Copies of this chain bind each other. A is one copy, B any other.
Amino acid sequence: MSEINQQIVLNSRPDGWVTQDNFKLVEGQIPEIGEGEILVRNLYMSVDPYMRSRMNDAKSYVPPFQIGKVLEAGVVGEVVKSQNPKFKEGDVVVGMLGWENFSKSDGAGLLTVERGDVPLSYYLGVLGMPGMTAYAGLVGVANLQAGERVFVSAASGAVGSVVGQIAKIMGCEVVGCAGSDDKVDYLVNELGFDRAFNYKTCGSIAKTIAKLCPKGIDVNFENVGGEIMEAALWNMRDFGRIALCGMISDYNAKDMTPGPRGMGLIIQRRIKLQGFIVFDNPKLNMEFVQKAIGWLAEGKLKYRETVAEGLENAPSAFIGMMKGENFGKQIVKIA
């Protein structure tokens, strides 16, 4: 085992969009473990939009990243040393660890997963937090019913692609938007969305939704916020639900951006708008993973990844993902 542990630390807090300067690659030691601890060789890590919020020094549901400290990510890794009876060498674990080759952990929050038919990186995507988020929003928050009309933004992304496919499996009509014609094609021709559009080239987003969802939207799974959320709101049906998962359009804004215009519609149409995060309902998450393994095996649930090679490319993978350059779930292969 190499004695070098490459690590990526937060070098400075971003001012607007994240740049390479906000990261620094450093060489640390492989940590020594003590009683109750394990050493994990990190295999894959995930880069996700929520990380942008943690780069600010602001109170949130997770504490901010600290300057000079190793960044955190969802990681799949292999236990290489264990002084914790719950884990043994060779176990594959998933959880929040560092942007680094080797992480030390007391095991809290780590799940052991099987080496099976499913690639291990899937536990960072379709079988991990993004997939669980999709199910939590549709089932737990929006109480989606068969036959309803679903609109999902950032539909080709790690969360959105699962949202649309679950909704189809549940017997719903699904419309999505994405940021390129290739992605739109993928949504309709590979993932089975009923209709989709490119929000960058469609002209009025509100009018496009009105055309593609002529009866309106029962459930909006909202990943983006801003103009797309406003357009969705205007097209909601009576008693519609907006599962508010992300507002990626706001994450880089330096000042607080205003909410959608026309919020009086929330009263007139008795709309429910509810924010949620994936950790709120662990039982629902476990229910999803069981179902999703089956759906993957049956070919009902499709999944695409963009994999960046090497820890040193994690910052550019993150920056590209925030700009929408990835196709499907953005993963970094560490080892």
Contacts and interface: CB of A to CB of B under 8 A. Distances in A.
Interface of A: 53, 60-61, 225, 238, 244-247, 250-251, 256-277, 280
A249 to B, nearest CB: 10
Contact of A270 (B238, B246, B277): B277
Contacts of A275: 265-272
A272 B272 contact: yes
A263 B247 contact: yes
A267 B277 contact: yes
A110 to B, nearest CB: 24
B276 A273 contact: no
A247 B260 CA distance: 14
A276 B276 CA distance: 21
A269 B263 CA distance: 20
Contacts of A256: 261-262
A273 B272 contact: yes
A270 B275 CA distance: 4
Contacts of A251: 264
14 contacts: A53-B264, A61-B269, A225-B264, A257-B261, A259-B261, A259-B263, A266-B273, A266-B275, A267-B276, A269-B275, A270-B276, A270-B277, A272-B273, A272-B274
A269 B268 CA distance: 25
A263 B265 CA distance: 16
B280 A267 contact: no
Contacts of A261: 256-259
A276 B264 CA distance: 11
Contacts of A263: 225, 244, 247, 250, 259
A309 to B, nearest CB: 32
